[in-house]
A = this chain, B = another copy of it.
């Protein structure tokens, strides 16, 4: 890698240590069926590899994509090893990699479900069986582990698997058409191409992207041909499967939200490598469809539990929201790929929203409980008790039967350094460094440039960049977030008014020892949804910097009776809590409604003034169980 970023941030230090010290050991124990807590369902993910390797007896157990949990754990382990040496973790990872190698078949095939359960059914059910999805995750893990340790074993496993896939699917002689029901292989193949330089992997990624949507009946024909089904999914729901139109012709982000953003990430990464303008246009269209019409304020996506899917424009119900943690992680992947395609602060704005809000909310502060769904409103009296809230949890469970989210969050947080900075040379050969996330640390590029960033972000808006080394003039492009109303910039103590291009403050002609101070406006403010978002009609939400706030019963007795006072403005208070950590809470003038027991009345509810307390959404549900709301009625 040409650049590196060493995170020394107070805010994210907590999470990065949590991943390496708590989440990875905990998840290892769960995947190894050795979790101390008997309540945790058996994952069986490692055991499936042992059975496939012929080293253990027993039956395959878990989902057909259970292998991907192991792959994501290995990838997260790789990023942790990149951050700091950990011989115990490395030996554990090496042992699992060795096991994975022994479970790989001679021809490169690797999927314990099929190896153990039904080797005669391989590659027949791309719609439901996720062989290509699991392959993609193992390839990603191999790339990451190679980058972290220089060890090639898992990379070779991934290459052999990719070579097998390449020998089966595509347009060449003896090959056949195919696309994954769950995209992931595409982005993984681009990563494999990037690390190996082998064009065939990029070509295979491009094939999967290009074939998609050219035959909307593909999965139906596949189902008819094989005559069996794994879990009775509808092969004709082409929107769910993102196979209605060729990817360049689709107008909206549709179907299963995680699959969608994994697909779009693959598209954007391929477009970067191939300079394919029509593919880049398609990415931009999908981006706009999500961000302008189908995304929650928290960066959550996928409003329907049914199909874990996008629905229609402006349909963003708060209480039944699905907002899978993985979908926001995928949105971050997509945003990051878009930043490589075209440097525009709007991508990083959304990347940041999804990261600081939905992804962090997906993890309990203790690192051992995880949300799968992330609603913007929750009532523990209703969660899991009323049919339409069946998917809503009143608290984060310790694990999930379908455990895609916990290791996915681990690998994202462990690799956060890859999202903070981006760089490119402009047409004049000038290096531009884009500061996309405001995280304290040291950034190095090519052994020549280095900066130290200092900040107490997201609670403090001041971000300082000290140029430590620079062989010549360069440009620092600091993202000016959409929420920062007023963003003064000082260079070496002097106020400067920089050019703003594509949402970045351009600080040009910097040199070693220069010091840039950018003060983002992280003061709190109200947010209103477009009236087309009928779920938010008459309601307001609060943000401060990138943080979306929410109200909990823990701070506000019975949320159903509370409104925000239209005239009031929020005030900020520092708070330190052993559970929530150092945060800033908002105190907001509010009204408490009073009402008789009548179900309906002719008089409006009476009210008395009160003070509401809002906490950052990412910290919710870490104290006692109670109602939570992001959007609050205002009157």
Contacts and interface: CB of A to CB of B under 8 A. Distances in A.
Interface string A591-623: 001011111111111000000000000000000
Interface in A308-365: 309, 311-312, 314-315, 317, 320
Contact of A385 (B307, B312, B560): B312
A291 interface: yes
A529 interface: yes
A576 interface: no
A306 B388 contact: yes
Contact of A530 (B297, B386, B595, B634): B595
Interface string A515-547: 000000000011111111110011110000000
A205 to B, nearest CB: 31
A56 interface: no
Counting every copy of the chain, the complex holds 2
A562 to B, nearest CB: 9
A530 B304 contact: no
Contacts of A307: 387
Contact of A600 (B527, B563, B603, B605): B527
Nearest to A295: B599
Interface string A270-298: 00000000000000000000011101010
A615 to B, nearest CB: 20
Interface in A102-132: none
A297 B387 contact: no
A14 interface: no
A633 interface: yes
Nearest to A592: B531
A406 B165 CA distance: 57
B381 A312 contact: yes
A597 B531 contact: no
Contact of A387 (B311, B381, B537): B311
Interface in A490-536: 525-534
Contacts of A604: 526, 528, 540
Contacts of A388: 304, 306, 317, 320, 388
- Between A379, A531, A633, the greatest number of chain B beta carbons within 10 A of the residue's beta carbon is seen for A531
B633 A537 contact: yes
A599 B563 contact: no
A635 interface: yes
A345 B581 CA distance: 58
B526 A538 contact: no
A530 B600 contact: yes
A347 to B, nearest CB: 15
A483 to B, nearest CB: 7
A382 interface: yes
B605 A312 contact: no
Given A538-B635, A599-B293, A633-B538, A528 B605 contact: yes
A546 to B, nearest CB: 13
A19 to B, nearest CB: 30
A446 B214 CA distance: 78
Contacts of A598: 292, 530
A602 B526 CA distance: 6
Contact of A297 (B527, B539, B600): B600
A302 to B, nearest CB: 12
A531 B605 CA distance: 8
A573 interface: no
A228 interface: no
Contacts of A306: 387-388
A607 to B, nearest CB: 10
Given A291-B599, A602-B525, A538 B540 contact: no
Interface in A544-599: 560-561, 563, 593, 595-599
Contacts of A602: 483, 485, 525-528
Contacts of A525: 602
A226 B469 CA distance: 82
B600 A312 contact: no
Contact of A560 (B309, B381, B387, B537): B537
Nearest to A548: B600
A529 B560 contact: no
Contacts of A304: 386-388
Interface string A369-380: 000000000010
B538 A563 contact: yes
A560 B292 CA distance: 17
A312 B379 CA distance: 12
A620 to B, nearest CB: 17
Contacts of A561: 531
Given A312-B385, A387-B311, A560-B534, A528 B635 contact: no
Contacts of A314: 599
A599 B529 contact: yes
A216 to B, nearest CB: 19
Contacts of A537: 538, 560, 563, 633
A304 B635 CA distance: 30
A369 B295 CA distance: 37
Contact of A529 (B297, B532, B600): B600
A483 B538 CA distance: 27
A560 B538 contact: no
Given A291-B599, A315-B382, 5 more contacts: A293-B599, A305-B387, A527-B601, A530-B605, A538-B538
8 contacts: A292-B598, A311-B385, A311-B387, A528-B601, A528-B604, A531-B561, A531-B595, A538-B633
Rank and list the top 4 A-B pairs by shortest CB-CB distance, nearest first.
A306-B387, A538-B633, A538-B538, A311-B386
